[in-house]
Amino acid sequence: MDMITASRKMVIFTGAGISTESGIPDFRSPGGLWTNNMPIYFDDFVRSAEMRAEAWRRKFAMEDSFANARPSRGHKAVAHLVRIGRASHVVTQNIDNLHQAAGVGDEQMIELHGNGSFAKCLSCDRRHELDWVRSEFERTEESPNCPACGGHVKSATVSFGQSMPEPEMVRAQEAALACDLFIAIGSSLVVYPAAGFPIMAKKNGATLVILNREETELDAIADLVIHDEIGDVMEPLLGLN
Ligand code: NAD
């Protein structure tokens, strides 16, 4: 708490663990939807109509738990720290839109792996809503093409083998280098390049705090490691002003 009060420019970095309390399984949950299937690589999505259809089939199978999810105590506390001006940015690996649902605005939000609450055309970048994709998919049993340009329509997330979004990478780097306190919450810190940001901030002189119920890859370099439940630790921060 003292570290947060003392910080003038804090960056909050989140992973799947902040959303488990919202009912979305993290990457490692045994039997979770994420672990049941081999990932579909970006090149396979582009190359194969069958893979595109399979990607949408999986997406809509998971959609109910995503669509009904509400921000956790962790999301609410993070949004509060942004609102009262303690946190300059929220850098997330998550694609579930729950930081925004808790009230974090576009200026503070940096999504490294995209956003699964809508789709985009891979050719013209036009946004498409999931309801439209779903009705087309259910009607034709094929992944729809963009009505404007005919390109492939894909969930607006970053797939394995797909390049990282350049503007978000630049913004995350700037935020990591400008902060005096970097808090990594609910990430196993094994997915790169995302996990490079806590290292970058620490090397640049920021204090690094890691909050996770289990050990992470970067515990050894952190100034403070809290092995606890995210909601329990973050909830009292809602009282900060
Ligand atoms: P991860 O699954 O590798 O790690 C999650 C970490 O959070 C684990 O170390 C776990 O111990 C911890 N954790 C889970 N619930 C917790 C709780 N209530 N309190 C404290 N700790 C808790 O997740 P990652 O590091 O974000 O990497 C997974 C990748 O998969 C990311 O790239 C992400 O894009 C994607 N993913 C996203 C979502 C989502 O959007 N909600 C969900 C699953 C996976």
Q: What is the pLDDT along the chain (241 residues), one digit of tens a residue?
A: 788 888 889 999 999 999 999 999 887 656 555 566 788 999 999 999 999 999 999 999 888 778 899 999 999 999 999 999 999 999 999 999 999 999 999 999 999 999 999 999 999 999 999 999 999 999 999 999 999 999 999 999 999 999 999 999 999 999 999 999 999 999 999 999 999 999 999 999 999 999 999 999 999 999 999 999 999 999 999 999 8
Q: Are residues 75 and 143 in the same domain?
A: no
pLDDT at 26: 87
| Ligand 1 touching residue 207 (CB < 6 A) | no
Q: Are residues 201 and 237 in the same domain?
A: yes
Q: Are residues 93 and 120 in the same domain?
A: no
Are the CB atoms for 9 and 88 separated by under 8 Å? yes
| Ligand 1 touching residue 27 (CB < 6 A) | yes
Last residue of a domain, one of 128, 157, 186: 157
Q: Are residues 90 and 206 in the same domain?
A: yes
| Ligand 1 touching residue 213 (CB < 6 A) | yes
Which of 19, 27, 192, 232 maximizes ligand 1 atoms within 8 Å of its Cβ, making it the mutation to test the pocket?
A: 27
Q: Are residues 138 and 227 in the same domain?
A: no
| Ligand 1 touching residue 130 (CB < 6 A) | no
Dump strand ranges (E) for the chain: 10-14, 87-92, 109-111, 114-121, 127-128, 153-157, 181-185, 207-211, 224-226
Q: Are residues 31 and 91 in the same domain?
A: no
Q: Are residues 121 and 9 in the same domain?
A: no
Classify residue 197 as exposed, middle or buried by CB count within 10 Å of its CB (0-12, 13-18, 19+): buried
Last residue of a domain, one of 131, 157, 183: 157
Is residue 113 annotated as part of the catalytic site, yes or no? yes
Domain membership of residue 33 as a residue range = 25-65+115-157
pLDDT at 141: 94
Q: Are residues 134 and 229 in the same domain?
A: no
**CATH number for the domain that contains residue 208:** 3.40.50.1220
Can you tell me the distance from the alpha carbon of 29 to that of 155, in angstroms, rounded to the nearest whole number?
23
Number of domains in the chain: 2
Q: Are residues 239 and 203 in the same domain?
A: yes
**CATH number for the domain that contains residue 35:** 3.30.1600.10
Are the CB atoms for 24 and 66 separated by under 8 Å? yes
With H, G, I as helix, E, B as strand and everything else as coil, classify residue 110.
strand
Q: Are residues 94 and 40 in the same domain?
A: no
Catalytic residue selected from 89, 113, 128, 152: 113
Q: Are residues 83 and 129 in the same domain?
A: no
**Which atom of ligand 1 is found nearest the CA of 212?**
21
Q: Are residues 108 and 213 in the same domain?
A: yes
What residue has token string 């009607």?
A: 139
pLDDT at 27: 78
